[in-house]
Structure 1
Amino acid sequence: MNLNIWQAIAIALLQGVTELFPISSLGHTVIIPGLLGWANMSTDTACGGDSCFLPFVVALHLGTSIALIAYFWRDWLQVIQTLINSVKRGGVQTGTEEWVSWLIIIGSIPAGLLGVLLEHRIKEFFASPLLAATFLIINGSLLFLGEGFRRRAEYQLQTLSPKEREAHFRPLSSLTWKEAVIIGFAQSLALIPGISRSGMTIAAGLGVRLTHTDAARFSFLLGTPIIFAAGALEIPTLFGQSTSNWILIICGVVLSGIAAFLSTKFLTKYFETGRLDPFAYYCWGFGLLSLILFLTVLQGKV
């Protein structure tokens, strides 16, 4: 595998953090190797010989998904219990925590189907640092737009504190299955490098009047099975690697998991009062800076 230990550590930490922050993990793992000149690793999709960058990055998703399962273990226990109870009773009551479990399952379907059908074609078409930087700017604009719609809805409540305003919006358990599907389709936009999965699902959640806290929670829960499946499906492509490479892979999975757990803990607390705007500004700034560098200093290397 064409990664040294320091590159592997950097990519693992980068993936673990950016997967949950609404700034596109895939976009960053395309852009940053391009900026640092890491031998065009961002466009390396093969797994023959020592070339295995993309499968390595996707395998890191296992660490991220395990961290999410560990953090939301009560929710996932509820999902399992709900499935069992629903089969026994032959139905489920909407507006309950059991209904939330079904919303997670329903909302995961669009991204799962589109990922199977289109993932490799989309990544091959868009996996260039230049395009990823462009879509990162677009991602920032979508985050800003989503937060803008929420601010307009809050206008009439402007005399209240942030927490009081949030209390006037609907809880996650009130979503319909159609709204869960819409948020699920928003999640599928993250197949394009530079577009954030969590960013699009949180923005879509705000669009159907969820609170920031519930929009973030639903985003993390909705992404867990997709992230886990993406990592698990890439494991066979890593077979045949040397022992030293497997040590890098395992260490990378552990590091990405730790980073993802800490990121989830931070963001869950942050969205109690925080907004998407700072992440939008970051995407604009980093995306624009990357575009300038790729079109000037690094021209011809991307």
Structure 2
Amino acid sequence: MNTSVLAQGVEGMSWLQVVVLSALQGLTEFLPVSSSGHLRIFSTWFFGEDAGASFTAVVQLGTELAVLVFFFKDIVRILVAWLRGVVDSARRDDPDYRLGWFVIVGSIPIAIIGFVGKDFIRDAARNLWITAIVLIVFSFVFLAAERFGRQDRPVDAKSLEGLSMKDAIIMGLAQCLALIPGVSRSGGTISAGLFLNMSREAAARFSFLLAIPAVLASGLFSLPDAFDPGAGQAATGWQLLVGTAIAFVIGYAAIAWFLKFVQNHSLGWFAGYRILLGALVMILLGTGTIPAT
């Protein structure tokens, strides 16, 4: 199946491409299926060319806005508690003050690795063979986390009281794996939380909070490159705006659905889908239907 005629090549992105990929971004960003992997696969399969890491990062700003809106009260509460604790040591026993530090410290690993390895991430790591293999391999990581994680840690699923700095660092390191298309930011961090015996819901909530600095920084850093054909397919300002809006609306709905889903359902559902998708991509690559790069 080759519908590359719908694309405009390196000269620019078609509106159809922008709408489809933005909707896909909103749907997959918060599910443990890898949004970057899906955009990499479907932009090549349906439109004949990789839209580029920069377009992906900028459209992620829409889903990032969805996180900010969905968790607005939590973010304000944490930020206020953190600022009060910084200026007044007597307030540092507040769990929200510590949670603020957990988000900050947990975001440091991906900031360092993302900056140092940005060239590899934008080029070599986007090979579709790597994406397909990673989709399958990390599905078994999800299954192992579900199998061996006891989910008996006393970490409150709403306030996240009971979370430790060790948890934040480990989940922050796991978040770095999402720099490789196919891993999944939420899947990696939630799996790490499960291995730390946190409940699935608590791990998911901290995963979303932890993603805020990383995704926001990535999108803003890549904004100039999104208009540069040399960094992938160029998009106009209106296309980026509409794409971001689409990702926001669908992303907000996906957050609400996913947080309810993980209360009573295993990540195994997503692992099965990922294995099937990875196998399909390998077949497409093996038959020459789509190129690896």
Could you say which residue in structure 1 is the equivalent of 2:193? Answer: 205
TM-aligned CA deviation for residue 239 of structure 1: 5.3
Q: Give 2:30's match in structure 1, choosing from 17, 20, 43.
A: 20
- May I ask how many residue pairs the two structures share in their alignment? 274
- Conservation of the 8 A alpha-carbon contact between 2:78 and 2:96: no
> d(CA) in 2 for partners of 1:91 and 1:125?
49
Match of 1:169 among 153, 159, 162: 153
Q: Partner of 2:5 in structure 1?
A: none
Distance 1:175 1:7, change over 3 A: same
> Which of these residues, 203, 228, 249, is aligned with residue 215 of structure 1?
203
C-alpha separation between the residues in 2 aligned to 1:87 and 1:99? 11
Contact 1:104 1:222 in 2 (8 A): yes
Residues 34-49 of structure 1: pairs in structure 2 closer than 5 A = 34-36=44-46, 38-42=47-51
> Partner of 1:10 in structure 2?
20
Given the alignment of the two structures, is residue 236 of structure 1 paired with residue 224 of structure 2, yes or no? yes
C-alpha separation in 1, matches of 2:131 and 2:147: 24
SS at match of 1:272: helix
Q: Secondary structure at the match of 1:87?
A: helix
Deviation of 1:120 after TM superposition, in Å, equals 2.6
Task: State the shift of 1:92 in Å.
Answer: 5.7
- Asked if 2 retains the 8 angstrom alpha-carbon contact of 1:136 and 1:194, the reply is yes
Tell me the amino acid that sits aligned with residue 61 of structure 1. Answer: Q
Q: Give me the whole-angstrom Cα distance separating, in 2, the residues matched to 1:230 and 1:285.
A: 29
Aligned partner (choices 276, 279, 284) of residue 288 of structure 1: 279
1:45 matched to which residue of 2? none
- Of 264, 269, 276, the residue aligned with 2:260 is 269
Say if 2:81 and 2:94, in contact at 8 Å, map to a contact too.
Answer: no
* Most deviating of 207-216 and 87-96: 87-96
Structure 1 residue 245 displacement after superposition: 1.9
Task: Report the TM-score, using the length of structure 2 for normalisation.
Answer: 0.87
Distance 1:183 1:140 in 2: 17
**Contact 1:35/1:290, CA 8 A, preserved across alignment:** no
CA distance 1:290–1:91, shift in 2 (3 Å): farther
TM-score for the superposition, normalised by structure 1? 0.84
RMSD across aligned positions (CA): 2.1
Contact 1:110-1:188 within 8 A present in 2 as well:
yes
Deviation at 1:81, TM superposition (A): 0.6
Look up the equivalent residue of 1:248 and give its one-letter code.
Answer: Q
Quick check: 193-202 or 175-184, which moved more?
175-184
Whether the 8 Å contact between 2:25 and 2:247 is mirrored in structure 1 is yes
Q: How far apart in 2 are the matches of 1:251 and 1:147?
A: 38
2:181 alignment counterpart: 193
Structure 2 spans left out of the alignment, 5+ residues? 1-10, 230-234
Using the TM superposition, give the Cα deviation of residue 286 of structure 1 relative to its aligned residue in structure 2, in angstroms: 0.6
Structure 2 CA distance for partners of 1:149 and 1:248, relative to 1, 3 Å: same
SS of the equivalent of 2:193 reads helix
